[in-house]
């Protein structure tokens, strides 16, 4: 809907540079980035926005899927070691075991000695499960890695590298949403690689673009103004973010006020028109519109605001 609206306005004479799509966290950008990447609309990407498929938890999950198709993928092996609670130094042992035992890097996991029998048994059980993933749908494969290979527990223990705003569990939920569009693991991996390459290429080429749609976090848009601004994901849990809601329930209202100010920053980026996207569902459940929206129209009576 957002891209259709922007395209229609550009066809009617608006310039691409007059549009900005803003979001609270980097994780929220995946869907709109992929739609823009597959459209003919020119857009520029905030240089700080990493590819969704390069995010820590997503990369680890995809690495299990990659190994199901290529058990000698050394980069994928490196990426799964943290979720197996193995140090990166183990990688050298895997390389040696692969050569000594004439087996794949994946199979070399069965020769790892950790000093813990339960962990070594878990590594042995992992091999046939990973092999089986290639024959499943991407969503089914992700579910198995989560539940049968302990990735869910890893996320709970590690989070997304300690970042309160960018939760690994949110990333995996969004990965499943993306995976639903593909029938095979191979197709999905190909898509992820293509989008990662597109992310890098658009960052490189957009540095010189002067007439393009801006895709940015709210934080990075401070001090900038656009004729038309779209704020996506304006629901409780996104803005205000979950961490601010948790803090307020524990009596700390400061993070909630910071979130309120952040939304105000976003809405005041619009010179003419403001469009606020309120998705009906979040994390598979009914979403509640941001609690800040009720006061927004009263604070900005002269703003052309659409919800």
Q: For residues 23 and 131, give the distance between their C-alpha atoms in angstroms, rounded to a whole number.
A: 38
Residues 228 and 269 in one domain: yes
* 84 and 171 inside one domain: yes
Q: Are 157 and 221 contained in the same domain?
A: no
Residues belonging to the chain: 307
Is the domain of 212 the same as that of 298? yes
32 close to 215: Cβ distance less than 8 angstroms: yes
**pLDDT score for 295:** 79
CA-based torsion, 159, 161, 162, 168: positive or negative: negative
Q: Is residue 194 part of a domain?
A: no
Model pLDDT, residue 306: 59
Q: Same structural domain for residues 58 and 153?
A: yes
CATH code for the domain in which residue 125 is found? 1.10.486.10
Owning domain of residue 264: 2-47+207-306
- In this structure, the number of other CB atoms found within 10 A of the CB of residue 59 comes to 21
Would you call the peptide bond into 251 cis, given omega within 30 degrees of 0 as the criterion?
A: no
Domain containing residue 30: CATH number: 3.40.50.300
148 occurs within a structural domain: yes
pLDDT given for residue 303 in this prediction: 57
Residue 281 DSSP one-character state: E
pLDDT for residue 160? 46
Same domain (yes/no): 85, 161 = yes
- Order the strands of the 19-23 sheet from edge to edge: 43-45, 213-217, 19-23, 226-231, 270-276, 304-306
Give the C-alpha separation, 230 to 305, whole Å. Answer: 10
Q: Does residue 64 form part of some domain?
A: yes
254 falls within a domain: yes
Domain count, the chain: 2
Residue 289 is classified by DSSP as: B
Considering 185, 219, 248, which residue would you say is the last residue of a domain? 185
Could you list the pLDDT tens digit for every one of the 307 residues in the chain?
899 999 999 999 999 999 999 998 877 788 899 999 999 999 998 777 889 999 999 999 999 999 999 999 999 999 999 999 999 999 999 999 999 999 999 999 999 988 888 899 999 999 999 999 999 999 999 999 999 999 999 998 875 445 555 578 888 988 999 999 999 999 999 999 999 999 999 988 887 788 999 999 998 898 889 999 999 999 998 898 888 998 899 998 999 999 999 999 999 999 999 999 998 887 677 889 999 998 776 666 555 555 5
- How many other C-beta atoms lie within 10 A of the C-beta of residue 205? 13
Query: What's the confidence (pLDDT) of residue 166?
Result: 58
Report helix, strand or coil for 62.
helix
Regarding whether 37 and 59 lie in a shared domain, the answer is: no
Last residue of a domain, one of 127, 150, 185: 185
89 and 65, same structural domain?
Answer: yes
Residue 192 domain-assigned (yes or no): no
**Residue 212 covered by a domain:** yes
Residues 110 and 169 reside in one and the same domain: yes
* Structural domain contains residue 195: no
The answer to whether residues 61 and 177 belong to one domain is yes
105, two tokens: 């890097």
Do residues 155 and 108 both lie within one domain? Answer: yes
8-state DSSP, 266 = H
Residue 103 and residue 41 share a domain: no
In a domain, 191, yes or no: no
Question: How many Cβ atoms are within 10 Å of 214's Cβ, its own excluded?
Answer: 23
């Amino acid at each position: 809907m957002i891209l259709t609206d922007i395209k229609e306005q550009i066809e009617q004479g608006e310039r691409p540079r007059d549009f900005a799509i803003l979001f609270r966290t980097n994780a929220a950008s995946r869907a709109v980035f992929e739609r823009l990447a597959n459209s003919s609309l020119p857009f520029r990407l905030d240089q700080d926005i990493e590819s969704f498929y390069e995010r820590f938890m997503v990369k680890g999950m995809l690495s299990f899927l990659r190994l199901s198709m290529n058990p000698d993928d050394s980069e994928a092996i490196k990426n799964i070691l943290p979720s197996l609670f193995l140090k990166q130094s183990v990688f050298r042992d895997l390389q040696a075991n692969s050569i000594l035992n004439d087996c794949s890097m994946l199979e070399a996991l069965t020769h790892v000695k950790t000093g813990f029998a339960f962990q070594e048994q878990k590594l042995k059980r992992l091999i046939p499960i990973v092999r089986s993933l290639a024959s499943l749908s991407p969503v089914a494969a992700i579910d198995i890695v989560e539940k049968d290979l302990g990735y869910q527990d890893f996320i709970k223990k590690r989070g997304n590298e300690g970042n309160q705003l960018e939760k690994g569990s949110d990333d995996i939920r969004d990965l499943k949403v993306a995976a639903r569009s593909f029938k095979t693991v191979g197709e999905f991996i190909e898509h992820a690689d293509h989008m990662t390459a597109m992310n890098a290429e658009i960052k490189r080429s957009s540095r010189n673009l002067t007439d393009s749609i801006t895709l940015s976090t709210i934080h990075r848009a401070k001090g900038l103004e656009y004729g038309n601004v779209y704020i996506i994901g304006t629901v409780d849990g996104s803005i205000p973010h979950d961490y601010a809601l948790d803090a307020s329930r524990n009596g700390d209202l400061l993070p909630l006020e910071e979130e309120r100010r952040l939304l105000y920053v976003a809405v005041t980026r619009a010179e003419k028109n403001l469009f606020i996207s309120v998705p009906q569902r979040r994390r598979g459940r009914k979403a509640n519109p941001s609690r800040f929206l009720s006061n927004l129209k009263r604070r900005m009576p002269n703003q052309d605001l659409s919800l």
